[in-house]
Amino acid sequence: MSIILDRVIRMLKHDKYLPLKCYASSRQLSGKFNFCECVIQCKYLPTHRESKQIQDYQYLELEKDRVSQK
């Protein structure tokens, strides 16, 4: 699967944690082994040359817990 396909599936399932904007590069969007696992924010930096992964997965788990406790 790719990020594009993952995002479409998450949109169809009305995933409330899907970020509005995806900053992955075109190569990352169509890559076989890249998945959209973003919660609240895109895990890639919004740079013009190349997107780099920035998401810390420990922070991601803490953020999931914080949002679910509300």
Instruction: State pLDDT tens for residues 7-60.
Output: 899 999 998 888 888 888 888 888 888 888 888 788 877 765 555 555 566 666
Three-state DSSP state, 69 = coil
Q: Residue 13: what pLDDT?
A: 93
Q: Residue 49: what pLDDT?
A: 55
Q: Residue 12: what pLDDT?
A: 94
Residue 15: CB atoms within 10 A of its CB come to 15
Q: Residue 60: what pLDDT?
A: 67
Q: Residue 9: what pLDDT?
A: 92
Residue 50: CB atoms within 10 A of its CB come to 10
Residue 34: CB atoms within 10 A of its CB come to 19
Residue 29: CB atoms within 10 A of its CB come to 18
Q: Residue 59: what pLDDT?
A: 65
12 CA to centre of own chain: 15
In the chain, what are the domain boundaries? 3-68
Q: Whole-model pTM?
A: 0.59
